[in-house]
Structure 1
Amino acid sequence: AITFRDDDGSILASTDDDTVRVWNIFSNDCLHRLSIVNDLSCCVRFLPKNRGVIVG
């Protein structure tokens, strides 16, 4: 799963290695890496006003 936040160019993506990562599309840097338990990363969303992310 993947979602895009256009106000700062961030991408939130679940990956095959049981992580969810936040990437900056302008610098290609991985900003955050979250480990996921039980492979529950079929949906990802940014919360409004940069308050966090939802993974489910």
Structure 2
Amino acid sequence: MARELLSALCLVAVFEGLFLFLTPEGWKRTAERLYVLTSLQLRLFGGAVVIGGLLSLWAVRG
């Protein structure tokens, strides 16, 4: 279980780094858009991402 979790976190780091490497300007524009959101909007967005990730994980793992 711990090995799978560590592997998943490493894969997240690979994808995050890949986006920064391939499209740094796009990443900056996205960060600027996030900066103007309220804390509530960011919390709702973060919650939606967590729920979407959990549902996706549940669907993939069965």
TM-score, normalised by the number of residues in structure 2: 0.22
Q: Give 1 or 2: higher helix fraction.
A: 2
TM-score, normalised by the number of residues in structure 1: 0.23
Higher relative contact order (CA 8 A, sep 6+): 1
Largest Rg, 1 or 2: 2
